[in-house]
A and B are shown apart, each in its own frame.
Chain A
Amino acid sequence: MTAGAPIPAIGRDLEPFFAAAAEGRLTVQRCVSCGELRFPARGLCASCLSTESEWTPVSGRGEVYSFFWMHQVYHPAFAGEVPYAVVVVRLEEGPKMMTNIRDCPKEELRVGMPVEVTFEKRGTDVCLPQFRPRDS
């Protein structure tokens, strides 16, 4: 990724997520009340409206649920990247994550492709989860 790519602001809600990512672990939120897994982070469980949640590790494996190739440059850091894929991965555990794909030629990316998490340094402090193809 080109220098200057946006570094996510780590608000209090995402601190545990990025702390785990720095140790190479992918986590999602889990409702303490009903057990529903969710991502992205939210303050409220949409199934039971509980505000109690915790971060729980997931396998990091999933499959490509959908994707598109971004051809427009909305941010200068991505000018050298277009077209790049924005990918929705459905984790084995259920939640979906918006991400990019790594180590995958454009013509090989497809819906249903098995993928696994990989971590990418963004700036000096942030480890950003990304996904790459895996053998099924």
Chain B
Amino acid sequence: MAPFSPTHTAIAGLGITEQGKVYGRSAVGFAVEAVRLALEDASLEPSDLDGIVVNPGLSWGLAGSMGSFAVQQAMGLTDVRLSASLSLGGASAGAMIMQAALAIEAGMASTVACVFSDAPLTAPRPGPGKAAGTASAYAHSGGLETAYGMFGVNGRYALLAQRHMHRFGTTQDHLGAIAVGQRAFAHGNPKAQLRGTPLTLEDYHASRWVAEPFHLFDCCLVSNGGVAVIVTSAERARDLPRPPVHIRGMAQGHPGGDPLETLTSGAVKAGDAAFDMAGIRREDIDFCELYDCYTFTVLVTLEDYGFCHKGEGGPFVEDGRIGPGGVLPVNTGGGQLSSFYMWGMTPISEAVIQIRGDGGQRQVPKHDLGLVSGNGGVLSTHSTLVFGRSAS
């Protein structure tokens, strides 16, 4: 048997449900629809599936503890040979692809659906009061921190951004440049929730504070919906109508340490490992889809992949370098800041679209190699994928 290579596997199908303030549907329902759409896209039947890997979002509740089985049952599948639910936060989606590729390469399964879905937004109640589409699921707190008014995850990243600003001179303009660049990309994405809502740097500065130094537009959206991909052997993918998206490199990195202190993600090690596996150099990357729970996360991830030195992410993102027409296009569908928030599936889905050349108005000119990051917790978990238009 030839040594393991992820390039023997490929993504053959992509399914994206309606995204955003879509009420009255369950997370499991979104997952099943996303898998169905991905199968259709791949020209495959449900009966072709023998693997299901699920990353249950916050609203899955108890069903998430056996999320892949819930999807299997909902789809009436009776011959599943790989089943797993992964919980690494925003790094889960990348880890799902890895799990699928490993299982396919090991001969455990042939055709694996990887799916994320969530429905944390609740419909507005009639009358005054709550705004539309509130997502109280993200307002968690606990223990002593509640007494100090520490709620949710916005503040945890804001604490790190403040440190970055203090140590390296990163500015609000730097964070704003990321938000503005991604919004410009979102205008070419029909699925983007903020398509058609222009954002200038002035608009960014004028937007309300959420967790200062984070403005509203430093923070990702919250979305109801689902995204699935179908992973299969590269050989099989080549026989299907859609262009295969080859999995060229994959790695994880989880550096641990104090979440109040870390300014460095697992991208440092995982990036190099994935580049090595793919047999490429960083300079070969044509575009990036980087996990963007916050603008700040993009800045740190660019540093950690070595596109610039640690601390120089701010100046790096200025002058349109990462926006439309820039030398390193980043988050070409608008990312989670401007398109939709499907955790790690947002960057993966956009990378599939770009590699295939399906990006329409937002298609980047060179799309042979795409770099995809996933990030969970507070720079706590990390996944890296390298996708290629060709297998080598």
- Does residue B159 face the partner (Cβ distance < 8 Å to A)? yes
The segment out of A5-13, A23-31, A49-57 that lies at the interface is: A5-13
CA distance in complex: A112, B143 (Å): 26
Contacts of A71 in B (CB 8 A): 208-212
The answer on a CB contact under 8 Å between A72 and B211 is yes
Distance from A78 Cβ to chain B, minimum over Cβ atoms (Å): 5
The answer on a CB contact under 8 Å between B163 and A74 is no
- Does residue A35 face the partner (Cβ distance < 8 Å to B)? no
The answer on a CB contact under 8 Å between B139 and A68 is no
Given contacts A5-B147, A86-B148, A98-B148, contact A65 B163 (CB under 8 A): yes
**B interface secondary structure, majority:** mixed
Contacts of A74 in B (CB 8 A): 139, 141, 149, 151-152
Interface centre among A7, A68, A75, A78 (most CB of B within 10 A): A68
The answer on a CB contact under 8 Å between A100 and B149 is yes
The answer on a CB contact under 8 Å between A69 and B163 is no
Q: Find the A residue at minimum CB distance from B258.
A: A96
Among A89-109, those with CB < 8 Å from B are 96, 98-100
Contacts of B155 in A (CB 8 A): 68, 70, 86
The 0/1 profile, CB within 8 Å of A marked 1, for residues 143-165 of chain B is 11111111110110011111100
CA distance in complex: A28, B158 (Å): 25
Among B255-270, those with CB < 8 Å from A are 258, 260-261
Contacts of A111 in B (CB 8 A): 162-163, 166
The answer on a CB contact under 8 Å between A98 and B163 is no
Q: Number of contacting residues on B, CB 8 A? A: 31
CA distance in complex: A71, B219 (Å): 13
The answer on a CB contact under 8 Å between B212 and A68 is yes
Interface centre among B147, B159, B160 (most CB of A within 10 A): B147
Distance from A45 Cβ to chain B, minimum over Cβ atoms (Å): 14
- Does residue B315 face the partner (Cβ distance < 8 Å to A)? no
Contacts of A40 in B (CB 8 A): 143-144
Contacts of A70 in B (CB 8 A): 149-151, 155, 211
The answer on a CB contact under 8 Å between A75 and B151 is yes
With beta carbons under 8 angstroms apart, the residue of B145, B158, B208, B210 that contacts A98 is B145
Given contacts A71-B208, A96-B260, contact A86 B147 (CB under 8 A): no
CA distance in complex: A37, B213 (Å): 30
Distance from B196 Cβ to chain A, minimum over Cβ atoms (Å): 26
Contacts of B185 in A (CB 8 A): none
- Does residue B116 face the partner (Cβ distance < 8 Å to A)? no
Contacts of B152 in A (CB 8 A): 72, 74
Distance from A17 Cβ to chain B, minimum over Cβ atoms (Å): 9
Distance from A95 Cβ to chain B, minimum over Cβ atoms (Å): 10
CA distance in complex: A68, B158 (Å): 6
Among B201-245, those with CB < 8 Å from A are 208-214
With beta carbons under 8 angstroms apart, the residue of B154, B163, B258 that contacts A72 is B154
The answer on a CB contact under 8 Å between A83 and B143 is no
Q: Find the B residue at minimum CB distance from A6.
A: B146
The answer on a CB contact under 8 Å between B260 and A66 is yes
The answer on a CB contact under 8 Å between B163 and A8 is no
Distance from A1 Cβ to chain B, minimum over Cβ atoms (Å): 9
- Does residue A119 face the partner (Cβ distance < 8 Å to B)? no
Among A61-84, those with CB < 8 Å from B are 65-72, 74-75, 78, 81, 83-84
The answer on a CB contact under 8 Å between A14 and B144 is yes
Distance from B162 Cβ to chain A, minimum over Cβ atoms (Å): 5
Q: Find the B residue at minimum CB distance from A18.
A: B144
Q: Find the A residue at minimum CB distance from B166.
A: A111
The answer on a CB contact under 8 Å between A66 and B149 is no
CA distance in complex: A75, B147 (Å): 10
Q: Find the B residue at minimum CB distance from A69.
A: B212
Interface centre among B144, B154, B258 (most CB of A within 10 A): B144
Chain A residues within CB distance 8 Å of chain B: 5-8, 14, 40, 65-72, 74-75, 78, 81, 83-84, 86, 88, 96, 98-100, 111-112, 122, 128
21 A-B residue contacts at CB 8 Å?
A: A7-B147, A40-B143, A65-B163, A66-B160, A66-B162, A68-B158, A68-B161, A68-B162, A69-B211, A70-B149, A70-B155, A71-B209, A71-B210, A72-B152, A72-B154, A81-B149, A96-B260, A96-B261, A98-B144, A98-B145, A112-B166
